[in-house]
Amino acid sequence: MNNNRISTRIVNTLSYLSIFFLPVIFPLIVWVIARASDNPTSITSNARKAFWTQIFPLLYVIFAILVYSINALQDFTVHSGALFGILLTFALLIALLLFVYNVAMGIKMLIGRE
Q: What is the pLDDT of residue 108?
A: 94
**Which pLDDT does position 114 carry in this prediction?**
64
Residue 18 pLDDT level (bands cut at 50, 70, 90): very high
- Measured from the Cβ of residue 106, the count of other Cβ atoms closer than 10 Å reads 21
| pLDDT value for 11 | 92
Q: So what's the pLDDT on residue 48?
A: 94
The residue extents of the domains of the chain are 3-111
Distance CA(34)–CA(32), nearest Å, equals 6
**56-112, pLDDT tens digit by residue?**
999 998 888 887 777 777 765 556 677 778 888 998 999 999 999 999 999 999 998
pLDDT (0 to 100) of residue 12: 93
Assign 10 to helix, strand or coil.
helix
For residue 56, what are the CA distances in angstroms to 6, 16, 59, 82?
29, 14, 5, 22
The DSSP annotation for 81-112 comes to HHHHHHHHHHHHHHHHHHHHHHHHHHHHHHHT
Is 64 in a helix, a strand, or coil? helix
The 10s digit of each residue's pLDDT in 27-58 is 999 999 998 886 667 899 999 999 999 999 99
